[in-house]
């Protein structure tokens, strides 16, 4: 646990959803499969992806053939979209402060600092906006072409079932 992982989980999960869309048409990835591959609890996956659904990035289907799919073109989903949907604000927020706290000494410092933090947020936003899910999965294909054989992992959707062992073998 610990250290906010929603963004990482969101990116990982949506990337897996996209890969699934192109790999096995008609059968979207399930929360359990994502959870097993990302290494978190299925409920957490649903919570994160549920938030992304509210933002219009993904869709879910219940039932035996259910799971998660992107609801936009992968080229239209940037890391910034995912971040913004999952986190209330970018890092480098100046904490709200009582204005009378500063004095003759440095009356404008709070505003200058707020501007500096805004610059940092803008730089970050710019970078995150420039990376799309389509690119990420593309890089993944590139990397994969260099690969040798991999061990198979049959019946992926079944793995990570909470009732099986409960911990998924994840250590804190």
Q: Which residues bind its own copies (CB under 8 A)?
A: 3, 5, 7-8, 11-12, 15-16, 19-20, 23, 36-39, 79, 91-95, 97-98, 101-113, 115-117, 119-120, 123-124, 126-128, 131, 136, 139-140, 143-144, 147, 150-153, 156, 169-170
Quickly count: other Cβ atoms within 10 Å of residue 7's Cβ: 17
What letters, b where the CB count within 10 A reaches 16 and e where it falls short, cover 52-76? bbebebbbbeeeeeebbbbbeebee
Interface of this chain with DNA, residues 121 to 140, rule: CB under 7 A: none
**Binder to DNA among 145, 152, 154, 167 (CB under 7 A)?**
167
**Binder to DNA among 143, 154, 166, 171 (CB under 7 A)?**
166
Assess 83 for contact with DNA (CB under 7 A): no
Rounded Cα distance between 34 and 60, Å, is: 13
* Closer CB to its own copies, 64 or 105, in the complex: 105
Rounded Cα distance between 155 and 161, Å, is: 12
Rounded Cα distance between 158 and 42, Å, is: 12
* Closer CB to its own copies, 60 or 137, in the complex: 137
Tell me which H or E stretch contains 52: helix 42-54
* Closer CB to DNA, 44 or 131, in the complex: 44
């Amino acid at each position: 646990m610990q250290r906010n992982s929603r963004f990482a989980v969101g990116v990982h999960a949506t990337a897996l959803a996209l890969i699934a869309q192109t790999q096995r048409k008609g059968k979207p990835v399930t929360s359990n499969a994502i959870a097993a591959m990302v290494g978190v609890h299925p409920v957490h996956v649903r919570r994160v992806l549920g938030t992304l659904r509210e933002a219009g990035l993904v869709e879910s289907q219940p039932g035996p053939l259910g799971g998660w799919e992107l609801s936009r073109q992968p080229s239209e989903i940037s890391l910034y979209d995912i971040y913004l949907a999952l986190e209330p604000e970018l890092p480098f927020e100046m904490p709200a402060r009582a204005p009378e706290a500063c004095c003759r000494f440095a009356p404008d410092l709070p505003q200058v600092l707020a501007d500096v933090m805004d610059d940092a947020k803008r730089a970050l936003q710019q970078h995150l906006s420039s990376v799309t899910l389509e690119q990420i999965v593309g890089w993944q294909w590139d990397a994969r072409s260099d690969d040798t054989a991999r061990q198979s992992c049959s019946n992926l959707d079944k793995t990570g079932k909470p009732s099986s062992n409960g911990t998924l073998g994840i250590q804190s």
